[in-house]
């Protein structure tokens, strides 16, 4: 059974290359890729993905706001936030909103597949340096 993946990323080139990468992986099925999260709830309800890749900084509405809304209608979907910043308040807010983990965009090519597999196996992908930072913020 294929893992259905939904992508929300405003950078056209990054969104396209991520789709291309994931389509080349057996067992992954990209069910949609969108440049914003303005209709995220309706899209998630319609496509019912197993994994969502979501940019934190999006036009019109942030990825963190979308996570909060999605969690109200789908508590089980795995949401991996994509960001250019490590140890950032936005990452902390996204995790607190219900994101399953995050991935730095500069590591997408090398860590995307392993991060998806990690979250599917109950893990929480994040940059090793920031694990301590995030945990200290939650205390």
Please state the pTM of the whole predicted model.
0.90
Handedness of CA 113, 31, 4, 23 (dihedral sign): negative
Antiparallel, parallel or unpaired: β 51-55 and 28-34: unpaired
- Looking up residue 118, the CATH number of its domain turns out to be 3.40.50.2300
State the Cα–Cα distance between residues 49 and 31, nearest whole angstrom.
7
Instruction: Give residue 125's pLDDT.
Output: 84
Each of the 139 residues of the chain gets a pLDDT tens digit; together they read 799 999 999 999 999 999 999 999 999 999 999 999 999 999 999 999 999 999 998 889 999 999 999 999 999 999 999 988 766 677 888 888 899 999 999 888 889 999 999 999 998 887 654 455 454 454 4
Length of the chain: 139
CB 118 within 8 A of CB 107: no
Give the range of the structural domain holding residue 45, as residue numbers without chain letter.
Answer: 3-138
Number of domains in the chain: 1
pLDDT at position 138 is 47
């Amino acid at each position: 059974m294929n893992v259905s993946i939904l992508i929300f990323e405003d950078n056209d080139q990054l969104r396209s290359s991520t789709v291309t990468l994931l389509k080349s992986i057996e067992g992954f099925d990209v069910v949609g890729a969108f440049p914003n999260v303005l209709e995220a709830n309706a899209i998630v309800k319609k496509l019912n993905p197993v994994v969502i890749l979501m940019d934190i900084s999006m036009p019109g509405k942030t990825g963190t706001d979308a996570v909060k809304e999605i969690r109200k209608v789908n508590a089980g979907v795995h949401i991996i936030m994509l960001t250019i910043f490590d140890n950032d308040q936005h990452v902390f807010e996204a995790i607190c909103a219900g994101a399953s983990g995050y991935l730095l965009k500069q590591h997408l090519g090398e860590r995307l597949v392993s991060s998806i597999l990690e979250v599917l196996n109950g893990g929480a992908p994040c940059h090793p340096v920031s694990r301590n930072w995030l945990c200290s913020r939650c205390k």
